[in-house]
Structure 1
Amino acid sequence: MRADEYWKNFNLGTELDIAGRFIFNGLQTFHRMEHFATEEDTFEFLYAVSVGVERLLKIALILTEHGQDVDQDEFEKDLITHSHQKLMERLKSSHTLKLSSVHNEFISILARFYKSHRYGRYSLESVTAAAQERDDLNSFLEKHLGIKIDTKTLFGITKNERRHRKFIGKTISKIVNQLFEIVEKEARRLNLYTYEIEYGSKASKIFQAQSFDFENEDILQMELLAYLVSEKAIGPNSKFLRECVEPLSFDPALEADYITALRNDQKKMAVLDELEALYEDEVSDFSTRREMLDAATSHHLHYGMDEDDEIND
């Protein structure tokens, strides 16, 4: 295998996985946003998606444009840009991309964020031009969903709802799916396997499953919880938890917060404070309890079950 083939097959294959991870992380950030008032949430979302889409664009361009007769140094220099729009225009010269105004507008938001807003708060001028990336995103949502987003009213702040998440996922999927199709098409033309993604990885959710929201993950979580607290959970792990790990005295009135904390890192912080207090009051041997909790996740746990027991009995 020539050096350029190895580069395109393996190195760009790794880059494809990285691009998918960034896009996954960005979409997950948006999914977990409670509302649209926080600048930090918008920054995290746009940063991850802008990096992921930029890397995906460059993979598609390399597979499309690079040949043995190119000047390698010049070719690599031409890739040193963070302009999503410029990269997209280059790709359009060789491929048909069916993008409407909403998709092009979102691409411009990514480009503007990465060029200007990304380091905007390091400038004194940011005092009079704060939250630009947040306002860009909110204006985009307002325009295309026909809504008005409130970021200031104490009790009227606009919550992030299913329709917002579905719209963002659909918008990004239209861009990303077409770029991945180009990557796969060009790799096959070159008899390479750049497009192959490890099953079950973050990137596989984006490129293979083409899933751009986290509703199924939320449903799965609740279904697993419903199973684990039911009488149907008779496996060794659940039995071990019930019989060997004494539950702490969490507040029944806060169960909704506890369930939310399982899927939201920010919500975990408040519950972690409560956990620390419960440990101080109720746990004298933390090391042993930690070992018990770890044991409950073992795939080789046979606690309380005979070899002839049938789990489905």
Structure 2
Amino acid sequence: MFIDEIWDFKSINMAHELGIAGEFIYDSARKAMALRNLYNDYELNSILYNGAVGIERLQKIYLCLSIPNPMDKSTVPECLKKHNHNELEKHVKEYSGKCISANGRRLLGLFSEYYNHYRYANYVPGYNSKKLKSLFIGFLKKQNGKFDFEEPCAAVQFEPFKRYYINELGKTANYYYSLIDEKAREIGTYTYELDSYSNASRVFWSTQRRSLYKQLILEQEAVKELLIHLYKDHGDSGVLKLFNEMHSLEFDDALINDYLADLCGGNVNDSLIDWIDDLHEEIEDNDKRKERHELLSLIGNVSVLFDDWDDADF
């Protein structure tokens, strides 16, 4: 491999990998943010899988930057071909001379255990999904061992444990990003660069000013402030005029906060989807149903310039 090919690999390929790693980590944090309990095996798998893959990619990016020639098999550590976070960390430490925090090591242990023993555990006859729950609880109990995870708990009680996982994930991600940034500048590559509008930038850049948990809280607050503005403002902008002119469907007011909770968490409530689907079907006039779908398609469509429609008659 020529020198310029090595530079391209370390600068361009690894920068792409950095963006991918950040997306996995962000998805893990968002999934954890939406947790209301630990009962669903599919939710825990999504959280741990995305977190494990994202952190592993960061470890491997750093090692690829540190190895003089990644194509020379004699210099490539065996751990690059496997999935062992603890083993990868040993080599990262050898090259960087730095140590990850104690909580970071515990998180690596959680991810390594999950990835190698639980990722495909459902394909093993006799597997009990409660083992995965116990694995995750074992990590969370480091924050407060007195909490009884078997008892039903209110969302407000569960919040400290979500915050703990998300923040440790963010700290670990930023630890490896700082190593990548330092090594990239040392060898003259642009591996540290990110799309400023990507989720990866929220993981690696925004969290230099605030924790990953606070970043997600800020995103929820942004959604809430927008909803408040839409509810309170009766201005003449095109999109608000469209809102005011369209008739509202009937909702169960007692469920509104449940719908908003999911919306702020990046999800759409299942019962809300079913309810809206039924209400749309109840519109007997096909032309009116089609018109409503067309008007709804305008909302959130960035190619529509509502300001040009201020005087439009909807």
In structure 1, stretches of 5+ residues that fail to align are: 308-313
Instruction: Give the match for residue 172 of structure 1.
Output: 169
Deviation per CA, 1:164-193: give whole Å up to 9, x if none.
222112212221111101111111112111
Question: Structure 1 pair 97/198, CA: closer, same or farther in 2 (3 Å)?
Answer: same
Deviation per CA, 1:245-277: give whole Å up to 9, x if none.
221112223221232242356652111111111
CA contact (8 A) 1:239 1:304 kept: no
Hey, what's the Cα distance between the residues in 2 that align with 1:176 and 1:261?
A: 26
Instruction: Give the match for residue 292 of structure 2.
Output: 289
Structure 2 residue 243 is the aligned partner of structure 1 residue 241: yes
Structure 2 residue 249 is the aligned partner of structure 1 residue 252: no
Instruction: Give the match for residue 122 of structure 1.
Output: 123
AA aligned opposite 2:186: R
Instruction: Give the match for residue 189 of structure 1.
Output: 186
Percent sequence identity is 23
Aligned pairs for 1:83-232 (under 5 A) are 83-126=84-127, 129-151=128-150, 153=151, 156-157=152-153, 159=155, 161-210=158-207, 211-213=211-213, 214-231=216-233
Deviation per CA, 1:68-101: give whole Å up to 9, x if none.
8x72476275510100000000010121434333
Hey, what's the Cα distance between the residues in 2 that align with 1:163 and 1:37?
A: 17
Hey, what's the Cα distance between the residues in 2 that align with 1:85 and 1:77?
A: 13
CA contact (8 A) 1:23 1:53 kept: yes
Hey, what's the Cα distance between the residues in 1 that align with 2:14 and 2:181?
A: 12
CA contact (8 A) 1:85 1:107 kept: yes
What is the CA distance between 1:67 and its match in structure 2?
3.2
Question: Structure 1 pair 217/265, CA: closer, same or farther in 2 (3 Å)?
Answer: closer
Q: Which moved more, 1:165-174 or 1:188-197?
A: 165-174
Instruction: Give the match for residue 310 of structure 1.
Output: none
Deviation per CA, 1:282-302: give whole Å up to 9, x if none.
363333212111223354123
Structure 2 residue 302 is the aligned partner of structure 1 residue 300: no
What is the CA distance between 1:22 and its match in structure 2?
0.2
Hey, what's the Cα distance between the residues in 1 that align with 2:273 and 2:76?
A: 51
Aligned pairs for 1:24-103 (under 5 A) are 24-67=26-69, 71-72=72-73, 75=76, 78-103=79-104
Question: Structure 1 pair 65/149, CA: closer, same or farther in 2 (3 Å)?
Answer: farther
Q: CA RMSD for the aligned pairs?
A: 2.4
TM-score (norm 1): 0.87
Query: Counterpart of 1:282 in 2: which secondary structure?
Result: coil
AA aligned opposite 2:240: S
CA contact (8 A) 1:138 1:149 kept: no
CA contact (8 A) 2:52 2:112 kept: yes
What is the CA distance between 1:57 and its match in structure 2?
0.3
Question: Structure 1 pair 147/42, CA: closer, same or farther in 2 (3 Å)?
Answer: farther
Query: Counterpart of 1:197 in 2: which secondary structure?
Result: coil
Hey, what's the Cα distance between the residues in 2 that align with 1:295 and 1:76?
A: 53
Instruction: Give the match for residue 24 of structure 2.
Output: 22
CA contact (8 A) 1:97 1:178 kept: no
In structure 2, stretches of 5+ residues that fail to align are: none
TM-score (norm 2): 0.87
What is the CA distance between 1:6 and its match in structure 2?
0.9
AA aligned opposite 1:140: F
Question: Structure 1 pair 96/74, CA: closer, same or farther in 2 (3 Å)?
Answer: closer
AA aligned opposite 1:86: E
Aligned length: 300
